[in-house]
Amino acid sequence: MANRIIDDFKSAFIGGGARANQFEVRLTFPEAAQSSSGDRSRFLVKSAALPGQAIDEVAVEFKGRTLYVAGDRTFETWTTTVINDESFNVRTDIEKWLNLINSMRDNVGVLSPSSYMQNIGVIQYSKNGAPIKAYELINCWPISVGQIDLSWDTRSEIETFDVTWRYTDFKGGGETARTLSQEIARLEDIAGIIGDAS
């Protein structure tokens, strides 16, 4: 009996489970921020998340009882952790992006949101390297870049920093009839990458 239960579970457990370390993030920087990192961010974003979402609830009071109905959809902020190589290119590009939004020196920035908002892709791969899920975060922009801790006591560690992003919504969450290969091709077009992921 126990063997049959395990066999049933094994046959239902497609691919042995998706692995959290099989992913790629494709950052796209605003043209006005003059990116110097190109598509290297694909290799330097060491942690991220598939986007979360929630539908708020609205409480409607009626004769001493509460009826909860669906409200509006909300999206959480999104956080990535980036490996800092000695070029500092990805960090510098994100700092340029923040400065484009609001200049550190004179407290001014671009007027149009389309000048600083970009779409960012995150792709989940299977163990054999085939893409199995892709999301495109729409109208992304960084709201904070974390500090990099420095210490004489630190040995054999590579610097990392966190970036927190805001976005309006995302594609790839089940609302579209696009195939996975179409999603990947769209992400490659956005990032200007001709990849071999499909």
Q: What percent of the chain has pLDDT over 90?
A: 57
pLDDT band with cut points at 50, 70 and 90 for residue 1? low
Give the mean pLDDT of the chain: 86
Task: Name which of 100, 135, 142, 140 is nearest 121 in CA terms.
Answer: 135
Q: What percent of the chain has pLDDT over 70?
A: 87
pLDDT in tens, 56-115: 999 999 999 999 999 999 999 999 999 999 999 999 999 999 999 999 899 999 889 999
Q: Distance of CA 144 to CAs 10, 96, 149, Å?
A: 43, 12, 16
Statement: residue 189 has pLDDT above 70: no
The secondary element (H helix, E strand) that includes residue 21 is: none
Residue entry with tokens 């999206």: 75
User: CB-side exposure of 13: number of CA atoms within 13 Å?
Assistant: 10
Q: d(Cα 157, Cα 85) in Å, to the nearest integer? A: 12
Maximum distance among all Cα pairs of the chain, rounded to whole angstroms: 73
Statement: residue 182 has pLDDT above 80: no
Statement: residue 18 has pLDDT above 60: yes
Statement: residue 53 has pLDDT above 80: yes
Q: Note whether 93 and 54 are within 8 A (CB).
A: no
Tell me the pairing of strands 169-171 and 65-75: unpaired
Q: Distance of CA 141 to CAs 30, 147, 169, 170, Å?
A: 9, 18, 12, 13
Query: Which of 6-20, 21-35, 108-122 is predicted with the least confidence, judged by mean pLDDT?
Result: 6-20
Average pLDDT over residues 44-66: 94
Q: Which of 31-45, 82-96, 125-139 has the highest mean pLDDT?
A: 82-96
* Residues contacting 39, CB < 8 A, separation 6+: 26, 191, 192, 193
pTM: 0.80
Q: Which pLDDT score, from 0 to 100, does residue 6 have?
A: 81
Residue entry with tokens 């390297």: 129
State both tokens at 39. 């598509």
pLDDT band with cut points at 50, 70 and 90 for residue 190? low
